[in-house]
Chain A
């Protein structure tokens, strides 16, 4: 369990450092084209080779890490914010309102998320900001359910009752006590949410519906690479491995955290 958390964290931190210090790690620019250098295989000068426009793939992947990681993180922040608020309010107030709010969640859950995203992209247009907002807007339902369930669990516990007795306003009770107590499951959700968002973003970018050139993303490097699959394997291999490693380490971290916060497993 601890091993999972540490492995996941180390790989992630490595990617985050690469993303943050991209300009210092690579001396190339991610958008400068040089047709004379197109489709060069990996060499000492270009360790991951160059793409069809002569750009350094390694540099584009560094900047792509920025895009992928921040899309994942920001989208999940939006989703978490909406979901926590929605779930906490629904669970705490209960009654008819809770019922209506949960039926709305049920309805949203029956619409396949990716189609919903596709529809929104068409209406809003693909751009990094829109992708973040769209993924955020379409993936808060799980967290809302988790938070609601947790809220119901602790709503009637003794310390909430005593908080009510002292006369703390409902608002304070909801936000201070309940949210503090649901931090564990929320954290687990955030980690899995980021990995899911990265997969969605890269998938959309791969199909040309996500991050638009010249901005690099692991997905759109793969998109341009797929036309050169016979000749330039490096365009396919490296971005794919990067996505896989990021998602894999996030999932490891998420699994580890879930076990950590699961009191049933703690005893063993």
Chain B
């Protein structure tokens, strides 16, 4: 088991290396991308910031030297300073990280919680009216442009019914609230963005769980459990459930890139002060270093998530744990 974790951690190195190579190539090989001309034409960048950028990327040196120097900074998470306010990119990203994690982890929990319930119940009542309705509804959710749904829900719950706040992480009067009210305030702000983020992925997860459950129920050890005289509800909710939910852990890791990537749309719509919104603000302002920082951080988070998912899978599944 320890070997497995060490192996996985070592594998991180070449992958991270590859990520730097890809992002570096994008900077240098994109036509019209990172040239001085292009930067000077953009009125938002001051000559000062161009100079800083040039020194960060060492644009006049040979390409491989540039890469090595850049890589050295990269290893220490030094992505330079923002063009907009001159603050270090790392600090700007770190400030936004908690809000992004809060949104995405809540959405992930909700998505898998509901997805698993829907999947298991549809598997147990397969081909029933219930099963078919769930399939249709989740399939529609999967086809729904989420930003549009967000807009409509914001309008209904925020504007028309005035039940939920429609933007930000907390209310203006947040600092004057007591602890309980603070939690409720944040939960209220979370509700819509979390729901929207989770909704699109439900189809995929519920179907995966359903198929996995059906497959497990047809296994011989389920038959053997009936034969040895176990009550049906224990067979289904203990045996079948554990076996069919194990592969879902891997799915959890795999769904991370989409989730984190999608966060820039939802965070922008809901003015959520997270990394995604930071990326959007940076994009519309051509704040190159910040964009780079966010992309690498997002890739790093995804990697970390995948790693955690794989390790927890290995910890839970005895077939891997005791190899």
A residues lining the B interface (CB < 8 Å): 103-104, 106-116, 118-125, 195, 199, 202-203, 206-209, 222, 226, 229-230, 236, 239-240, 243-244, 247-248, 251, 255
> Closest CB-CB distance, B319 to chain A, in whole Å?
23
Alpha-carbon separation in the docked complex, A121 to B284 (Å): 10
Return chain B residues, CB-CB under 8 Å to A108.
Answer: 22
Instruction: Look across to chain B and name the residue whose beta carbon is closest to the beta carbon of A202.
Output: B145
A112 touching B143 in the complex, CB below 8 Å, given contacts A119-B26, A222-B151: no
Alpha-carbon separation in the docked complex, A52 to B264 (Å): 27
Whether B18 lies near A107 (C-beta < 8 A) is yes
Return chain B residues, CB-CB under 8 Å to A111.
Answer: 19, 22, 257, 295, 298-299, 302
The answer, among B140, B143, B257, B280, for a CB contact under 8 Å with A109, is B257
Whether A112 lies near B18 (C-beta < 8 A) is no
A-B contact pairs, 14 of them (CB 8 A): A103-B14, A110-B15, A112-B258, A114-B264, A115-B279, A115-B295, A115-B299, A116-B295, A118-B283, A119-B23, A119-B291, A207-B268, A247-B145, A248-B139
A118 touching B22 in the complex, CB below 8 Å, given contacts A111-B299, A207-B265: no
Interface class of chain A by DSSP: helix
Enumerate B133-180 residues with CB–CB distance to A below 8 Å: 139-140, 142-148, 151-152, 155, 159
Return chain A residues, CB-CB under 8 Å to B291.
Answer: 118-119, 122
Whether B140 lies near A248 (C-beta < 8 A) is yes
Whether B143 lies near A247 (C-beta < 8 A) is yes
Whether A119 lies near B295 (C-beta < 8 A) is yes
Whether B27 lies near A115 (C-beta < 8 A) is no
> Closest CB-CB distance, B127 to chain A, in whole Å?
12
| Listed residue (B146, B292, B295) with the most chain A CB atoms within 10 angstroms of its CB | B295
Instruction: Look across to chain A and name the residue whose beta carbon is closest to the beta carbon of B155.
Output: A229
Return chain B residues, CB-CB under 8 Å to A116.
Answer: 261, 295
Alpha-carbon separation in the docked complex, A182 to B265 (Å): 35
Instruction: Look across to chain A and name the residue whose beta carbon is closest to the beta carbon of B160.
Output: A230
Interface class of chain B by DSSP: helix
Return chain B residues, CB-CB under 8 Å to A103.
Answer: 14-15, 18
> Closest CB-CB distance, A258 to chain B, in whole Å?
12
Asked if B33 lies at the interface with its beta carbon under 8 angstroms from chain A, I say: yes
A110 touching B299 in the complex, CB below 8 Å, given contacts A121-B283, A199-B145, A209-B283: yes
Return chain A residues, CB-CB under 8 Å to B282.
Answer: 122
The answer, among B33, B155, B288, B302, for a CB contact under 8 Å with A110, is B302
Interchain residue pairs A-B with the least CB separation, the first 8: A112-B261, A114-B261, A107-B18, A240-B148, A123-B33, A248-B143, A111-B299, A112-B257
Asked if B286 lies at the interface with its beta carbon under 8 angstroms from chain A, I say: yes
The interface bits of chain B over 170-212 (1 if a CB of A lies within 8 angstroms of the residue's CB, else 0) are 0000000000000000000000000000000000000000000
> Closest CB-CB distance, B89 to chain A, in whole Å?
13
Whether A104 lies near B18 (C-beta < 8 A) is yes
A124 touching B33 in the complex, CB below 8 Å, given contacts A106-B15, A114-B262: yes
Question: A110-B15, A119-B292, A124-B31 provided; 16 other pairs, C-beta below 8 A?
Answer: A110-B302, A111-B295, A114-B261, A115-B261, A115-B264, A115-B299, A118-B291, A122-B283, A124-B30, A206-B147, A222-B147, A222-B148, A239-B148, A243-B148, A247-B145, A255-B139
Alpha-carbon separation in the docked complex, A113 to B254 (Å): 13
Enumerate B19-36 residues with CB–CB distance to A below 8 Å: 19, 22-23, 26-27, 30-34
Return chain A residues, CB-CB under 8 Å to B26.
Answer: 119-120, 123
Asked if B108 lies at the interface with its beta carbon under 8 angstroms from chain A, I say: no
The answer, among B30, B257, B284, for a CB contact under 8 Å with A113, is B257
Asked if B303 lies at the interface with its beta carbon under 8 angstroms from chain A, I say: yes
Return chain B residues, CB-CB under 8 Å to A251.
Answer: 139, 142-143
Enumerate B229-287 residues with CB–CB distance to A below 8 Å: 256-258, 260-262, 264-265, 268, 279-280, 282-284, 286
The answer, among B144, B159, B298, for a CB contact under 8 Å with A244, is B144
Whether B264 lies near A122 (C-beta < 8 A) is no
Instruction: Look across to chain B and name the residue whose beta carbon is closest to the beta carbon of A109.
Output: B257
Return chain B residues, CB-CB under 8 Å to A114.
Answer: 261-262, 264-265
A244 touching B295 in the complex, CB below 8 Å, given contacts A110-B257, A251-B143: no
> Closest CB-CB distance, A192 to chain B, in whole Å?
11
Whether A123 lies near B303 (C-beta < 8 A) is no
| Listed residue (A115, A118, A226, A236) with the most chain B CB atoms within 10 angstroms of its CB | A115
Whether B279 lies near A118 (C-beta < 8 A) is yes
Return chain A residues, CB-CB under 8 Å to B306.
Answer: 110
Asked if B107 lies at the interface with its beta carbon under 8 angstroms from chain A, I say: no
> Closest CB-CB distance, A247 to chain B, in whole Å?
4
> Closest CB-CB distance, A231 to chain B, in whole Å?
11
A244 touching B145 in the complex, CB below 8 Å, given contacts A110-B306, A123-B30: yes
Instruction: Look across to chain B and name the residue whose beta carbon is closest to the beta carbon of A226.
Output: B151
Whether B260 lies near A203 (C-beta < 8 A) is no
Asked if B93 lies at the interface with its beta carbon under 8 angstroms from chain A, I say: no
> Closest CB-CB distance, A184 to chain B, in whole Å?
20
Whether B148 lies near A112 (C-beta < 8 A) is no
